[in-house]
Amino acid sequence: MNVRRIVLLNVVAFIVVLAAVYGGYSYYYQQSHYVTTNNAFIEGQVVPLNAEFAGKLSSWNVTAGDQVAAGQVVGQLDTSLEKQQLGVTASAPGVAQAVSNAAQIMSPTNGTVVQSNVSAGQLVSPGQPLGEVVNLSNLHVTANINETELRNINVGDTVDISVDSYPSLSLKGTVQSIGMTTNSFFALIPSTNNASGTYTRVTQTVPVRISMSGYAGTALRPGMSVTVRIHRQTP
């Protein structure tokens, strides 16, 4: 084996060892300084559009993507059915006006219509979600953090956020709150064996709410997947 080959092998071996050391240090640094998860998504407060009484929609003026303001009329109910149910009371002073006012379906908040579930001519009832409005300028992230990592997280911690849909976008956030129960606590299927009563022990996740900043002008949508890196508190 000539000298050149020996030198080349030594250089290659040195590079491999150096890469391994760097990789190990990088992994240790990430684990000791951050809590990272991609089990996270963007959320916003969903506000339903509802009718105050049962009846037929005489008009429905919004579709998904429309901007609405608080108090804006988005639909109108036909008052015939309501007046029929009220009987003679419907002609009492003030009642007719009250029914007319209640027939107007208004948006309770500023935001964007993210879903429209009805159209003019449909029969609707109180409590039925006719549509949903979300304020897209007031979004947040919900990150499901393993229970074993909660001791390293506090309200107020800084968070780095990356959005799957926009790989080049880097956002900052802050831990706003930490859930009081695990995600599975109210699950319909409990983590127990009904026959034996034994508990199936698995690592649970707890929802952590994270505020976001710096996303103005970016078309973020509720439900988008993100990866969060929380600057952890070391014991």
Evaluate whether residue 120 is within a structural domain: yes
pLDDT tens digits, 121-161? 999 999 899 999 999 999 999 999 999 999 889 999 999 99
Structure tokens at 73: 């009329």
pLDDT tens digits, 30-62? 555 789 999 999 999 999 999 999 999 999 999
Evaluate whether residue 22 is within a structural domain: no
* Residues 56 and 96 both lie in one domain: yes
Contact 74, 62 (CB under 8 A): yes
Model-wide pTM > 0.75: yes
Cα–Cα dist 144/185, whole Å: 13
pLDDT tens digits, 174-210? 999 999 999 888 776 665 555 555 666 788 999 999 9
* Residues 82 and 164 both lie in one domain: no
* Number of neighbours of residue 226 by Cβ within 10 angstroms: 25
pLDDT tens digits, 20-33? 766 665 555 555 57
CATH number of the domain that residue 105 is part of: 2.40.50.100
Range of the domain at 125: 46-134
106 pLDDT higher than 70: yes
